[in-house]
Structure 1
Amino acid sequence: GQDWEQRARLLMQWGDRLPSLSDEEKTDDNLVHGCESKVWLTGEVSAGAWLFRASSDARLIRGLVALLLARVNGLSAPELEAVDLSDWFDQLGLGRQLSPSRSNGLNAVLQKMRQLTQA
């Protein structure tokens, strides 16, 4: 369990560095459904590369979302489609530690990203 506690602390530090969204951006439209914590997500595309910004009211989730952003920012829509979240979290050694609800929440964030790229 100690290993996970260290990782959780690290994740929270990552989350603390995540630039927060403005209150204007924290709208129902930008809310990710399927997360037990509130997560807001915005995205814009520049020269085919997507840049997402996100915020959450839960520190650990914010950290996980920060990790996800590090993985996906700068990808094109087809590359984003190809991202395998569970495989990637296993590679990071986080797969086993993620509760199903957190894992589902992150998948919901990724789905929302994909929806934005299709819009």
Structure 2
Amino acid sequence: MPTPAFEEIAETFDFLDDWEERYRHVIELGKALPGMDPALQVPATKVDGCASQVWIMPQIQDGRFDFQGDSDAMIVRGLIAVLHAMYAGLSVADVVKVDAQAQLARLGLDEHLSSQRSNGLRAMVQRIRKLAADAA
């Protein structure tokens, strides 16, 4: 049940030849991610388990999941943008059904991120799933 926005990222990744280009694309996605109000960057929105500073603030309206996110690391902002493309607009019930590991594997992220970044990405996915489950 990938969203059209995530499918677009997957298609772009298929088109890009090497990982340096893909990393640049992830960073560009992070640069395009709207900034998060610093007032929302508080312990309650902080994601534990990330080497970088990461904040995720859910926005649920009419049973649809969305979130704001930010990080102090540009590559992580890009990963947040990838997760946003994966989850934004889904029903809260569908968020927990997404096989994030399989979807991210389509991009090859599971093979090309450092163990610290992979752990942080898993922590972000777990946080998003928990937020959606709590809202369901």
Same fold (TM over 0.5): yes
Q: Determine if the alignment matches structure 1 residue 33 to structure 2 residue 56.
A: no
* Residue in 2 that maps onto 1:61: 76
Structure 1 segment 65-76 matched on structure 2, within 5 A: 65-76=80-91
Shift of 1:104: 1.6
Q: Determine if the alignment matches structure 1 residue 24 to structure 2 residue 20.
A: no
Number of residue pairs matched? 118
| Comparing 84-93 and 44-53, the one that deviates more | 84-93
Counterpart residue type for residue 102 of structure 1: R
Pick one of 22, 25, 28 that aligns with 1:13: 28
Counterpart residue type for residue 58 of structure 1: A
Q: Deviations over 1:47-84 (max 9, x none)?
A: 11011110000011110110110010011222111122
Which whole-Å CA distance do the structure 2 matches of 1:82 and 1:43 have between them? Answer: 17
Which whole-Å CA distance do the structure 1 matches of 2:47 and 2:129 have between them? Answer: 12
Provide structure 1 residue ranges, at least 5 long, that are not aligned to the other structure: none
Which whole-Å CA distance do the structure 2 matches of 1:45 and 1:22 have between them? Answer: 17
State the percentage of identical aligned residues.
38
Which whole-Å CA distance do the structure 2 matches of 1:72 and 1:4 have between them? Answer: 24
Superposed CA RMSD in Å reads 1.4
Query: Could you say which structure has the higher helix fraction?
Result: 2
Counterpart residue type for residue 99 of structure 2: D
Shift of 1:115: 2.3
Shift of 1:111: 1.5
SS of the aligned residue for 1:29 comes to helix
Q: Deviations over 1:5-53 (max 9, x none)?
A: 1111111010000001111011111100011111101012111101111
Pick one of 89, 99, 102 that aligns with 1:84: 99
Which whole-Å CA distance do the structure 2 matches of 1:106 and 1:89 have between them? Answer: 10
